[in-house]
Structure 1
């Protein structure tokens, strides 16, 4: 809880312009009002202003002083369409580029790409695939990156235990190279958000060679690649989760591990494992799941869960703003 307050203080010092592409949603309207009222961000709602205001009125939501941008009536529509056409495939025609810009996800991504917004947040109505498609086609992958993935910040009910889970939202079966990319990005983002050194466990059903199954070998190879690329990172793999987070078990299963059973960043071998793990922690252990937060893009665009709450939208906006500082 103390860390969340620190994140909010950072936002108050430098509020970011956040465009919400899926704006026709009472959750987004309430979250945008909260962000604006508290001074945490400058929200921008994307859509027809008459439709949005009528929807807000019928939903009983007051939307004072919120910026609304209508892509088709915007003075930047032609400029954005041309930029998208020039940055797309050689075969992309002007009509197709304009059609793309009529899609709120693509227009919002272009607002971020062209500097009219600092962050795009969507996914409360759109699918993850649609959000990622717009992000990749408009914003693109960051330099020195090859993999776009995601992470969740997981906070215990009392706020004393904070860990990062990756990837739990994007890459179904990461390759050795992708696992290494996910690990390095996740460690950097944990340190940026918390100010604490990352202690990274690359997880498997095997600990330090107890199995020669190809899935365990893949994690082992990814660990070696991470160690070569970032030799100063505190990382170990492959580890079973108990050897990663329980010191007494680590002493028995992996006594030479630099983590000593105190990992704060958990890297899962597949999307199956990561997604299941974060939802078990959230639903059975009552951890708060903050995310998913996308990593590896050239500029910030983030994908909400379609089951998100107002608080989730506010919290992700705060985390995204801190990462964008």
Structure 2
């Protein structure tokens, strides 16, 4: 059984309510049909009757709650809530109503804030920024969270590395050029996410183009300092760096490049030094190794709101909804 099937089984036990705000995309409805049929989650789909009718043709979504923001009885309540949350920014009722009727991601986040839904999945036809902006404005971050970051849950077929081919790649979607402290916090959040979702002990590799001093550069220094901080912040986790990718996952190479490391050769959480490396890395593995890539999954938001790659399939949406539902069970 693959990791996403295990996560689906966990989600079925909780039956959380997940919002899908992208009624303008047929992939939403193909995914919704499977999610409802398998009992992975309860669904709320936001859209006008015309949008839903046009894009859901041929899909059985009879088990979903369909909400037209223009006529739904709680729209005024959500408008008032939005104005209250953003009053310090001078948001007016007219502006609030215009936003929530034109951008369903805002409407979905307000439903979560009001307690009418447990999480949201968006991004099939919205950028990461457009998906996360409303969640940060409305739902806010978890108490004590220093940084919101993102990861991909990767499952590589026929792979002996990682945890049977399962990895967390971070940050592959959100934090552009983290400094050492931010990189350390990404490592901690990613270790926690791996342990919660996969159920195995995380082994975190802080990646670089250098292994244990093999190269000298300020970029390497950043990773070395991030590793030191991460170990200090989270001594309960196995974290090591700086490590090249091959030293991180291949035992034979680890034995020569990183002798004595408790992570090298067996890493299952890969923390990339910046967004360029992380984004390129996950897409290379996804396309060339035919890996399943679920995400970007967000870390640090008070309630689970997760992004999708705009190149995602409807099957990817099913997987991300299952992960979101499991995250909601932990809240």
What's 1:96 paired with?
95
What's 2:70 paired with?
72
Aligned with residue 313 of structure 2, among 302, 309, 313: 309
Q: Matches of 1:225 and 1:140 in 2, distance apart?
A: 25
User: Is the partner of 2:56 in helix, strand or coil?
Assistant: helix
Residue 123 in structure 1 maps to residue 123 in structure 2: yes
User: Is the partner of 1:211 in helix, strand or coil?
Assistant: coil
What's 1:278 paired with?
282
Aligned residues: 323
Check the 8 A contact 2:17/2:44 in 1, yes or no. Answer: yes
Aligned with residue 217 of structure 2, among 189, 213, 218: 213
What's 1:81 paired with?
79
Cα deviation, residue 2, structure 1:
3.8
Residue 182 in structure 1 maps to residue 181 in structure 2: no
Check the 8 A contact 2:29/2:55 in 1, yes or no. Answer: no
User: Is the partner of 1:71 in helix, strand or coil?
Assistant: coil
Check the 8 A contact 1:201/1:263 in 2, yes or no. Answer: yes
User: Is the partner of 1:208 in helix, strand or coil?
Assistant: coil
Check the 8 A contact 2:36/2:61 in 1, yes or no. Answer: no
Query: What are the residue-to-residue correspondences of 1:17-56 with 2, within 5 Å?
Result: 17-56=17-56
Q: Matches of 2:215 and 2:264 in 1, distance apart?
A: 21
Check the 8 A contact 2:170/2:272 in 1, yes or no. Answer: yes
Check the 8 A contact 1:112/1:300 in 2, yes or no. Answer: no
Residue 105 in structure 1 maps to residue 109 in structure 2: no
Q: Matches of 1:219 and 1:195 in 2, distance apart?
A: 27
TM-score with structure 2 setting the length:
0.93
Q: Matches of 2:89 and 2:123 in 1, distance apart?
A: 29
Q: Matches of 1:35 and 1:272 in 2, distance apart?
A: 33
Q: Matches of 1:233 and 1:29 in 2, distance apart?
A: 40
The alpha-carbon distance between structure 1 residues 2 and 286, as it changes in their structure 2 partners (threshold 3 A), is closer
1:191-237 Cα deviation digits (max 9, x unpaired) = 00111110000001111222331111111111111111111210001
Does 248-257 or 83-92 show the bigger shift? 83-92
Cα deviation, residue 70, structure 1:
1.3
CA RMSD of aligned residues (A): 1.5
Cα deviation, residue 50, structure 1:
4.0
Structure 1 alignment gaps of length 5 or more: none
Residue 249 in structure 1 maps to residue 247 in structure 2: no
TM-score with structure 1 setting the length:
0.95
Check the 8 A contact 1:180/1:226 in 2, yes or no. Answer: yes
The alpha-carbon distance between structure 1 residues 55 and 263, as it changes in their structure 2 partners (threshold 3 A), is closer
Cα deviation, residue 252, structure 1:
1.1
Check the 8 A contact 1:244/1:261 in 2, yes or no. Answer: yes
Check the 8 A contact 2:27/2:313 in 1, yes or no. Answer: yes
